[in-house]
A and B are shown apart, each in its own frame.
Chain A
Amino acid sequence: AQSVTQLGSHVSVSEGALVLLRCNYSSSVPPYLFWYVQYPNQGLQLLLKYTTGATLVKGINGFEAEFKKSETSFHLTKPSAHMSDAAEYFCAVSDRRGRASGSARQLTFGSGTQLTVLP
């Protein structure tokens, strides 16, 4: 069974400061990894994903994440926080092992990290 742990349910940073949101996963095989953002009363928007290849993944809005297999981590970073980054962020994994008839589209989410950006 897969699981995702997001350290820190609330993170506050000053505008212009580094954003670091932590995500660790547990899986019998390296999964596909995702970061989603959710604004109030909205659905989820994909920031970035790791499937194969380069372990440093760049996403939208200046975010990036690095897949570290040895640490089973996929931390999300942004060099300089903006007020508009205030939202809830979710790390998610999906099983790399697809079914014969197609992929198993089941995401397992972490509990989320609420990011506050202080002026």
Chain B
Amino acid sequence: KAGVTQTPRYLIKTRGQQVTLSCSPISGHRSVSWYQQTPGQGLQFLFEYFSETQRNKGNFPGRFSGRQFSNSRSEMNVSTLELGDSALYLCASSLETGGSNTEAFFGQGTRLTVV
């Protein structure tokens, strides 16, 4: 069974540009969550999607957005990139059974560098 796939693995962008990251969840998983990992702030929750609807959102500015498609694949977009957006962006998928104890499976992440 294929794991969570994130593309691309590495990305270099210039300040002011926008970027789109992609996440393909494990087959059958309908919940996709996104996290930002930086040395200074650690792992922070961005948002969660379930059945194409954003179900939960972290404390990030509106420049960070996402969406989920009918096949559960998800994308996140960051507009007007800032140097501080440089981070490892992790996607996690889970099989929803109605309880928060369902395991989240993480992808390898996309390393975004803003120059």
Contacts and interface: CB of A to CB of B under 8 A. Distances in A.
Interface of A: 32, 36, 41-46, 49, 51-52, 90, 92, 94-99, 101-112
Contact of A49 (B31, B58, B101): B101
B71 interface: no
30 contacts: A32-B100, A41-B108, A42-B109, A43-B90, A43-B107, A46-B103, A94-B100, A96-B100, A97-B100, A98-B98, A98-B100, A101-B50, A102-B55, A103-B31, A103-B96, A103-B99, A103-B101, A103-B102, A105-B31, A105-B33, A105-B50, A105-B55, A105-B92, A105-B96, A105-B100, A106-B33, A107-B35, A107-B45, A107-B92, A109-B44
Nearest to B108: A43
A106 B98 contact: no
Contacts of B18: none
B96 A44 contact: no
Contact of B55 (A41, A97, A104, A110): A104
Interface of B: 4, 31, 33, 35, 42-45, 48, 50, 55-56, 58, 90, 92, 94, 96-109, 111
A106 B43 contact: no
Best-surrounded residue of A51, A92, A103, A110 (most CB of chain B within 10 A): A103
Contact of A43 (B31, B100, B103, B109): B109
Contacts of A110: 42
Contacts of B104: 46, 105, 107
Contact of A106 (B4, B48, B103): B48
B96 A102 contact: yes
A109 B43 contact: yes
A102 B30 CA distance: 11
B62 to A, nearest CB: 19
B109 A98 contact: no
A95 B102 CA distance: 12
B99 to A, nearest CB: 5
B110 to A, nearest CB: 10
Contacts of B56: 104-106
B96 A112 contact: no
